[in-house]
Structure 1
Amino acid sequence: MRIATSQLYNRPASLMTQLSAEADRIQTQIATGKRIQTASDDPAAFLRLQGMKQQTADDGAWSANIGTAQGLLAQTDTTLDSVESQLQRALELATQAANGTLSDANRDAIAEELNAIRDALFGLSNTRDVRGQPLFGGATGDVAYVQAADGTISFAGTGEPSAIPIGEGTSIQGTVTGTRAFASGSSDMFAVLASFTAALEAGGDVKAAADAAMTGLNGALESVNLARASAGARAARLDLDAGRLVDAGEARESARTALEDTDITTAVTQLQKTLTILQATQASFTKLTSLSLFDYLR
């Protein structure tokens, strides 16, 4: 039997190269804490991890959008609360006017305060959101409400607020339009206040005008309350969606850890085993190469 000299070296040299590479790989796993460095380490797990990373990125985008929508709804509720306070004060003034005989000074004082309330409501209706857009403006328009030369205030927007995507195929509106929040027709808060103020400024018996104002203001308050309830319901839904994303993220992180992270105890044991075999192979190779071919064949 003829034994090629190359065989004496190639086989153990190849084994030592493999063992050295394996030791390096395990040491890298221990140092980085990651079991999988490249796709070749575990192709199936690598593909799953790539999918998890994409899902994490997607959920991050949904979470950011949810945060934006929550901020808009919180701002909507706060602003509507201020509107409600102004309307309640106007209702108190209308009740006061309907329940007694007013002097000219009383009428002038109430009219002046109502004008201030109307101005405040006009400012609130044109509140801008955190993005710089009209909070109650609908889909388009630089402002939600405009005031004509004769003092008439009207809605300037069009359509519904743009929906914010919060999940695959799911979106939500972060606010409401002014026409929904502040009523329209006989309950248009701007028209109601303008009509009542005009009656006060005209003088005479204003009981009928006060009664009409009370009806209109109650209608406007009802619209504001409905708008706040709608915003509150959407905010509660967003809280659930945000919680769902957190739960999904925690579950995904647990799965990722099981796939990707290094089990240090197991890795150290494998490293020690690999190094022991490598050292034994190196020792054997050194002894082998110190023999002459004659000694080897003998």
Structure 2
Amino acid sequence: MTIPSRVTETSMHTKALGDLQRSMARGQRIQSQISGGKLLTRPSDSPTGTVTSLQLRGEVRATQQYGRNADDGLGWLGTIQDKLGDASTSIIRVRDLTLQALNTSNNDQSRQALAVEIDNIRDTLLDAANTKYMNRPVFGGTTPGSEAYAKDPNTGEITYLGNDNQTTRTVGPNAKVRIETTGQEAFGKQGDPTELFTVLDNISKSIRNNDAAGLNQNLQNLDSAHDLLKSALSDVGARYNRVEQMKQSADDHLLSVTSQLSDIEDVDLPKAIMELQIQQTSYQAALAATAKVIQPSLIDFLR
């Protein structure tokens, strides 16, 4: 035998009010999502979504850092690439001047003019070797100083002040790229007869002394110095291309991760607006139904 349950006025009122409150809460939640534009405002909204969101946000930050590192590396390598390219052009000019000096028809005045031009080119290359990026000499390795090369004002001798330590940037997961080139890799080792500044100084002296044998030897040394510089330029170009590719890869990955994060966190506005309209209609219907179920009593009329 089933015992019928007794429905009292109080239970009806409580149940009706509870349903109305829940309906209002659902409407308020949708309204908050539309206003903020986010599905997730607290971890309780979606524990699984929150975990995924945190992981994706960490990946976004890491990818953005890779992009910034790549930009910095491109700045370094681009500066070095430009300076070495200009230096190569200057060396070609020096070679032409050296060949002119080997012409026996040159008089003392002509040889003096040729030597002065080579000296000026040497000073220009010295300025290029001391080029800075972000206030650091790009050919100085990891030197804390402000210059990679120093010139003795008395003797004119040029000394390398940098070191052979490498500077790298992480431009991707487990991907480090060297972003500098030491002066000795580009212009030759200090004390070596094929070191560029030494060769230029010797050429200038040989021209002034009308030393044809010395010029022929230094012309070969100049070609060796140029080969070394071109090798360094080729290496820098290859590294520049790699960093540029890693930068593009980081940008593409960032776009993909950002899209995934948006799918988890961001509100689909058309869908949310439709749900809000349905919820409002449902709430109005609930109000109408409650008004019919909970009829005014005689006490209400006697107040």
User: How many Å separate the matches in 1 of 2:20 and 2:89?
Assistant: 82
Q: Secondary structure at the match of 1:290?
A: coil
Q: 2:60–2:258: 8 Å Cα contact kept in structure 1? A: no
| Partner Cα distance (2:291, 2:71) in 1 | 66
Which residue matches 1:239?
244
Work out whether 1:216 is the aligned partner of 2:221: yes
Counterpart among 103, 110, 113 of residue 109 in structure 1? 113
Q: Distance in 2 between matches of 1:3 and 1:293?
A: 19
CA distance in 1, matches of 2:22, 2:43: 19
- Partner SS, residue 141 of structure 2: coil
CA positional deviation for 1:219:
1.2
Match of 2:129 among 96, 116, 125: 125
Give the one of 88, 93, 96 matched to 1:92.
Answer: 96
Q: Which amino acid aligns with 1:104?
A: D
Report the 3-state secondary structure (helix = DSSP H, G, I; strand = E; otherwise coil) of the residue aligned with 2:137: coil
Residue 229 (structure 1) shift: 0.9
- C-alpha distance in 2, partners of 1:63/1:266? 35
Task: Identify which range, 64-73 or 37-46, moves more after superposition.
Answer: 37-46
Structure 1 match to 2:233 = 228
C-alpha separation in 2, matches of 1:258 and 1:278 = 29
Please give the alpha-carbon distance, in whole angstroms, between the structure 1 residues aligned to 2:257 and 2:43. 19
Q: State the distance in 1 between where 2:130 and 2:224 align.
A: 21
The CA deviation at 1:125 is 0.9
Equivalence for 2:86: 82
Q: Tell me how far apart the structure 2 counterparts of residues 122 and 267 of structure 1 sit (CA, whole Å).
A: 66
Match of 1:195 in 2: 202
Asked whether 1:138 is paired with 2:145, we answer no
- Structure 2 matches for 1:1-298, cutoff 5 A? 1-129=5-133, 131-142=134-145, 143-148=147-152, 149-184=154-189, 185-201=192-208, 203-204=209-210, 206-292=211-297
Q: Which stretch shifts more, 280-289 or 216-225? A: 280-289
RMSD: 2.0
Q: What is the one-letter code of the residue matched to 1:8?
A: M
User: What is the aligned residue count?
Assistant: 291
> Shift of the alpha carbon at 1:256?
2.1
Q: Is the 8 A contact 1:183 1:219 kept in 2?
A: no
SS in 1 for 2:171: strand
Change (3 A) 1:293 1:217: farther
110-119 or 269-278: bigger deviation: 269-278
2:64–2:254 Cα contact (<8 Å) kept: no
Residues 112, 207 of structure 2: 8 Å contact kept: yes
Q: Secondary structure in 2 aligned to 1:137?
A: coil
* Cα separation, 1, equivalents of 2:117 and 2:275: 83
Gaps of 5+ in 2: none
Q: CA deviation at 1:5?
A: 4.1
- Paired residue secondary structure (1:187): coil
Contact 1:141 1:156 in 2 (8 A): no
Residue type of the alignment partner of 1:191: T
Q: CA 1:141–1:219 in 2, change beyond 3 Å: closer, same or farther?
A: farther
> Which whole-Å CA distance do the structure 2 matches of 1:273 and 1:104 have between them?
99
Q: Residues 48-67 of structure 1, C-alpha deviation per residue, up to 9 Å, x if partnerless?
A: 11222222122111111111
Residue identity opposite 2:281 in structure 1:
T
1:59 and 1:245 in contact (8 A); partners too? yes
C-alpha distance in structure 2 between counterparts of 1:187 and 1:92, whole Å: 18
TM-score by length of 1: 0.90
Asked if the contact 2:206/2:212 (under 8 Å) is kept, the reply is no
Structure 1: segments with no counterpart, 5+ residues: none
Letter in 1 for 2:138: L
